[in-house]
Amino acid sequence: MKEKTEKTLIVNKKVNLTAVVLLGVFASCVSLKTPKRADLVPLQAPMIIGKYPVSINRTIKSRSYKDTVISSVLWYYFKNAAGKDSLELAQATHIELKLTDENHLNATLFKGNVPLKTEVVKGNLRKGYFRTKHDLSLKGVPPFYWSMSSAKMQFGIGKERQLYIDSADETNGSILIMVAGTPGFTRSLTVPVYEK
């Protein structure tokens, strides 16, 4: 009888542990919400998408405080590796985007007419957009300590060649039995064409 009780306790612990891990896994699949755009031009491979500034400033209006200006560095949306390219970014004037085939987008950082750096972004064409490969990463040792990050992104162009960037990301994690996470963040940017 004692053996049966111990086995039942072990099974219950395993079930609880599995439930916590699965909760974290399923909770970290962020959804990319695409705004409806009447002027979307479907992307077709191969094509030159266009030239765009390295960064843009967005203003967030506030009723009670001063307006906040947030600078968004567009190059970071096209990078494959973590880290900053501060040397190249300090010199860069614009980014050129080329859709080489249905699964690859080339992003080249330029200083005038001189290319500084090129990144190849993997993904696929879907509903007129180029959707990057879903970035899902797990760090740590489940069930003791772990975090899971999920990020999705897509690019599209409008009739006036403006660039649309939609992105979503979230992070969840756990320390022993305590699970926590972000509700997920979604962003949509409209980037004008680069002009000299």
Give CA–CA dist 169/148, Å, rounded. Answer: 11
Q: Quick check: is 142 in a domain?
A: yes
- Domain span at residue 15 reads 2-191
Domain count along the chain: 1
Residues with Cβ within 8 Å of 52's Cβ and at least 6 positions away in sequence, in order, are 74, 94, 95, 96, 97, 163, 191, 192, 193, 194
Q: Quick check: is 49 in a domain?
A: yes
Q: Quick check: is 143 in a domain?
A: yes
Q: Which residue has the tokens 């030239």?
A: 51
| pLDDT value for 13 | 65
Q: Which residue has the tokens 């974290």?
A: 24
Q: Quick check: is 104 in a domain?
A: yes
Three-state DSSP state, 91: helix
Q: Quick check: is 69 in a domain?
A: yes
Q: Quick check: is 196 in a domain?
A: no
Q: Quick check: is 175 in a domain?
A: yes
pLDDT in tens for each of the 196 residues of the chain?
A: 666 677 676 766 666 556 555 555 554 455 666 777 788 888 888 888 989 998 887 777 767 777 777 777 888 888 766 666 667 777 888 899 999 998 999 999 898 899 888 889 899 998 888 988 887 777 887 767 777 777 888 889 999 999 988 888 887 777 777 776 667 777 787 888 888 7
Q: Quick check: is 125 in a domain?
A: yes
For residue 88, CA distances in Å to 91, 105, 108, 110, 192 come to: 5, 20, 11, 9, 21
